[in-house]
Structure 1
Amino acid sequence: MAQEARDDLPYINKYKNKIIGAANKYGVKPSIVAGIISRETRGGRGAGFTSDGWGDNRNAFGLMQVDKRWHTPRGQWDSQEHIEQGVGILMDCYREVAQRFPNMPDKMRGALAAYNMGAQNMNPNNVDAHTTHGNYSSDVTARAQFYASNGY
């Protein structure tokens, strides 16, 4: 995970100002946003990610892979508007996790898992149980730690 984050750093850096702007708007650590973008699209260059910003069999859009089955994607795939939409969705997940599981000690990890698979599918005792590869929130958190030590 750390190696992938390290490999993605030059690509993530292209969006640094947008990431920091969106994170500040919603009160989220920029490193978390960078971690999501690294996990979702490897900074806009991941396998299965098309040049027009679509991934997941054309169901998910942009750097943050907003799922069109649940949301109407906004902005260009690498725009400030798109990143802000993704961070807004993350914060909606945070609020839902906090409401459903008020005693959960690490609500951001829960929000990250919910960003990937929905709060309604979450097991509060094992937040990654139903996430992609069973490690979404722990992977994004590890990537975020790397980005935090690299100016995010």
Structure 2
Amino acid sequence: MGNFFSGYVDIRRVETSGASSRTVKQENLQHNVQGVTASHNMAKTDAGQMEKYREKINKVGHKYGIDPALIAAIISRESRAGNVLHDGWGDYDSKRGTYNAWGLMQVDVNPNGGGHTARGGWDSEEHLCQATEILVHFIKIIREKFPNWSAEQQLKGGIAAYNAGDRNVHSYCKVDEYTRGGDYSNDIVARGHWYKKRGGF
């Protein structure tokens, strides 16, 4: 893959409504703080821990042409910069008695879900590469599925597909309809804004 993925856009140019009330409640945030402000607060909370991964995030972002601020935002949303993982695992499935996802960016290993085979340590560059490759894959699918969307819209659709699958992205106005919390791409874009403007990515 070349130096920059052709779908690369500045995360700051992507519109967002931020975190939903469901995500705010799940994260035990103040109920009067929602939307973009809530997303920014969560990104800021994870900023100190994120510093451990800055070099790897920047390296992987530039390798695949994905804004490093976006990678940091996904890490913040998926694992709170590793703070909520159990030996690298997350998304516990009580019915199966196993974890569904691996690493900082939570690669889906559930055979009934993403079905990926985890690569590398949970906080390794190899893991970040695998997860970013999955993200790029979904952005490409969304570009093909919705060729009339702008690059910013296609990026947002790819982020939603990273969480819910490309088959669950049907329209831009309801891009997060089937994502966890009903806000996945909007929350991540808003966190990405913070990491770009305030986090130095």
Instruction: Note if 1:151 corresponds to 2:200.
Output: yes
Counterparts of 1:21 and 1:87, CA distance in 2: 11
- Tell me if structure 2 keeps the 8 A contact 1:40–1:65: yes
Deviations along 1:107-137, one digit per CA (max 9) or x if unpaired, are 1100100000100111223110100000000
Matched residue SS, 1:90 = helix
Alpha-carbon distance in 1 for matches of 2:77, 2:189: 10
Q: TM-score, normalised by structure 2?
A: 0.73
RCO comparison, higher one (Cα < 8 Å, 6+) = 2
User: How many residues were matched structurally?
Assistant: 149
Q: Offset at 1:82?
A: 0.1
Larger Rg: 2
**Structure 2: distance between partners of 1:26 and 1:61:** 20
- 4+ aligned runs moved over 6 Å, structure 1: none
How far the C-alpha of 1:151 sits from its partner, in A, is: 1.1
Which residue identity does 2:55 align to in structure 1?
Answer: N
Q: Look up the match of 1:54.
A: 89
Distance 2:171 2:154 in 1: 10
Return the offset for 1:14.
Answer: 0.8
Partner-residue secondary structure (3-state), 1:4: helix
Please point out which of 159, 169, 181 is paired with 1:112. Answer: 159
Q: Is the 8 A contact 1:104 1:124 kept in 2?
A: no
- Is 1:99 paired with 2:144? yes
- Matching of residue 89 in structure 1 with residue 130 in structure 2: no
- Mapped to 2, the partners of 1:124 and 1:12 lie a distance apart of 32
Give how far 1:37 is off.
0.2
What corresponds to 2:69 in structure 1?
Answer: 31
After superposition, give the CA deviation of every residue in 1:18-64 in whole Å (9 maximum; x if it has no partner): 00111111001000000000000000002xx21x1111111100000
- In 1, distance between residues paired with 2:62 and 2:107? 20
Give unpaired runs (5+ residues) of structure 2.
1-38, 93-98
Q: Which residue of 2 aligns with 1:45?
A: 83
**How far apart are the structure 2 equivalents of 1:35 and 1:145?**
9
Aligned Cα root-mean-square deviation (Å): 0.8
- 2:52 corresponds in structure 1 to 14
Structure 2 distance, partners of 1:87, 1:42, is 17
Q: How many percent identity over aligned positions? A: 43
TM-score by length of 1: 0.95
Report the residue type matching 2:200 in the other structure: G
How much does 1:13 deviate? 1.1
Over residues 82-115 of structure 1, what are the superposed CA-to-partner deviations in whole Å (9 max), with x where a residue is unaligned?
Answer: 0011111000000000111111221110010000
- Give the corresponding residue for 1:74: 119
